Each structure stands twice: as C-alpha cells, then as structure tokens.
Amino acid sequence: MVRVAAVGDLHFGRHSPEDLAGLVPEMMAAADVVALCGDLTDHGLPDEARSLARELAGPGRPPVVAVLGNHDYEAGRAEEVAGILREAGVHVLDGDTVELRGIGFAGVKGFGGGFGAHALQAWGEELMKRFVHEAIEEALKLERAIARLSTAHRVVLLHYAPIEATVRGEAAEIYPFLGSSRLEEPLSRHPVSAILHGHAHHGQLRGETRTGVPVFNVAAALLQQHAGRRFHVLELPAPA
C-alpha cells in the first residue's frame, strides 16, 4: 500500500511550531506521501511560510504535495508563499499535477458558491457574476489537471469542499463560503480514487460524491476533536 498522510488548516502563525510540535515528524514517519490541504499559514505572510518550510525540509523525508487556502491569500502574497514552500521541495499545486510513489495528484484551492439547488448563480450584479465565475474557473482548472493524469489511482487535493456532506455541522448561513458543487462536476466525469479537503473546521470527516468517490475533510481541528488524531491516513494500492 501507498500511505498518504493528509491534513489541512495548520495555520502556521496562529499556531507556533511549538504548538504543532511533533506533527510533521509524525506524519513523515507514517506516510509515503504527505498532503497538505490549504491554510498552511494564518495570514499568508512569507515569515509564516518560512516557518512551515523549515518544518517540512530535510533529507530522507517523503515527498510533500499541497494546495493553498484562503488564509494563504490574506496578505496578497500567495505567490511568494508558494515559492517559499516550493524551494523547500513542496509540490504546490494550482491546476497542476504530480506523480508521487506511483499515485497521481491533482490540486486546486477551489472556491465557494454553495451546493446543489442552493448554489449561487451568475446573475444580477457584476460582483456576484465574478464570484460565481471564480468558482467555475477553479472547477475548470481542476478538470484540466485530472484529465492529464494517467495513473491508476488519482487523488485530488482541495481546500474548499466539493460536496455539502462534509461541511454539515457548520452554520448553514456560511455554506456558500465553504465550498461549491461546481468542484464536484469534474470529479464525476473523471476516475478519481479519493478527494481530500479542509476549510470546514466543524464539518464532517467523510462523505461521497454522487458517483461514490470518498471525500475526506482533513481540517486539523476537526480531526483532533472528532477522530482523536492529528492527521488522516489514506491507503491506496501500490502500482503493479
């Protein structure tokens, strides 16, 4: 088996390296690949990214794949944050793909907009249209990425949720800001083994797309409160 240790919402800056002591080494020891599902920093500051990069860097460690989250954009320096992490060897995906240990990974941040019949539509004010257009663009980036993968097993990394099931438990008023059904559409058109996301700290640990693909909410606070562990381990058959 190939073991993927996944967590989101580390919020480096709000939580000091001391608060997260042992987490990264524990993940590294438990996994063949480490997956980070956004909100890696708390305010999107380069110094926060450098602190995380120091934790992740080091010889002999398994590869790390990541997407950014909304907190990583807060300071308007997301490209710099991503660059610092890439210099530390992290595969930061934004409509990109990478094959690690024979498993294909595709990732985007995603965006909001809500779910199902209650999803926001591109109608009315120009600002509302731009909001919906952002969700559509993220879904298109994800579709193009998944389509490029040719591995037997494909794992999708998101920050925002692609289904409503894994955000239940959050206040219904903020559902439109937690994810979008538009992200589920490419996941139903292409073969995917599993989907990992964060962002919904008070949601549910697991759900499924309408085609039965497992979706795991790996927000750190949710895992610690409801699963009694600091990260999720996804096991997939090793390539033949």
What are the tens digits of pLDDT across the range 119-153? 889 889 999 999 999 999 999 999 999 999 999 99
Residue ranges of domains in the chain, CATH in brackets: 2-236 (3.60.21.10)
Helix axes 46-56, 78-87, angle to 10 degrees: 20
Average pLDDT over residues 12-34: 81
Q: pTM here?
A: 0.95
Backbone angles phi, psi at 179, to 5 degrees: 175, -170
Is the confidence at residue 21, as pLDDT, over 90?
A: no
Predicted pLDDT at 226: 85
- Asked if the model's pLDDT at residue 20 lies above 90, the reply is no
pLDDT band, very low/low/confident/very high, at 24 (cuts 50, 70, 90)? confident
pLDDT of residue 174: 96
Across 30-40, average pLDDT: 96
Per-residue pLDDT of 189-230, as tens digits, reads 999 999 999 999 999 999 999 999 999 999 999 999 987 888
Q: What tens digit of pLDDT does each residue of 48-105 get?
A: 999 999 988 877 789 999 999 999 999 999 999 999 999 999 999 999 999 999 999 9
Q: Which of the two residues, 58 and 112, has the higher pLDDT score?
A: 112
**pLDDT of amino acid 16:** 62
Q: Tell me, what's the pLDDT at 25?
A: 86
Count other C-beta atoms under 10 Å from residue 2's C-beta: 18
What is the structure's pLDDT at 18?
61
Range with lowest mean pLDDT among 3-17, 82-96, 157-171:
3-17
Angstrom distance (rounded) from CA 193 to CA 151: 11
